[in-house]
């Protein structure tokens, strides 16, 4: 197997791992979005300081997971572009 083929193989493995991580992070983001929605509603109805704090914490979780998903997508896109360049060299 040529060096180029080995690089492509390793890139494909990294892309697959990032795609799996992205899928898991996106699923967790959806869970946190639902939790945030519930926490906001609870905070609005009860006006309890504990509920407001919970709403702030869940909003921070949504933001954190959103950044994680965006970062994983960016990294995967970069690797896919690199793979495409290598494939073009392969012919």
CATH assignment of the domain containing 86: 1.10.287
Residue 91, pLDDT > 80, answer: no
Q: Which pLDDT does position 9 carry in this prediction?
A: 96
Its pTM stands at 0.87
Q: Which pLDDT does position 47 carry in this prediction?
A: 83
Outline where the chain has alpha helix (H).
3-46, 49-90
Question: pLDDT of 53-84, one tens digit each?
Answer: 999 999 999 999 999 999 999 999 999 999 99
Yes or no: say if 77 and 30 are a contact pair by the CB < 8 Å rule: no
Q: Which pLDDT does position 37 carry in this prediction?
A: 97
As for how many domains the chain has, the answer is: 1
Tokens describing residue 83: 């793979």
Pairwise CA distance, residues 27 & 39, whole Å = 19
Q: Which pLDDT does position 90 carry in this prediction?
A: 85
DSSP 35: H
Looking up tokens 């991580």, which residue turns up?
21
Question: pLDDT of 7-58, one tens digit each?
Answer: 999 999 999 999 999 999 999 999 999 999 999 999 999 989 999 999 999 9
Domain ranges, residue 58:
3-90
């Amino acid at each position: 197997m040529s060096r180029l083929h080995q690089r492509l193989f390793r890139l494909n493995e990294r892309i697959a791992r990032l795609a799996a991580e992205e899928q898991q992070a996106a699923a967790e983001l959806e869970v946190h979005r639902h939790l945030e929605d519930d926490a906001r509603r609870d905070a609005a109805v009860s006006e309890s300081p504990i509920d407001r704090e919970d709403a702030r914490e869940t909003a921070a979780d949504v933001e954190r997971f959103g950044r994680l998903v965006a970062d994983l997508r960016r990294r995967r896109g970069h690797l896919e572009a690199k793979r495409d360049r290598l494939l073009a060299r392969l012919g």
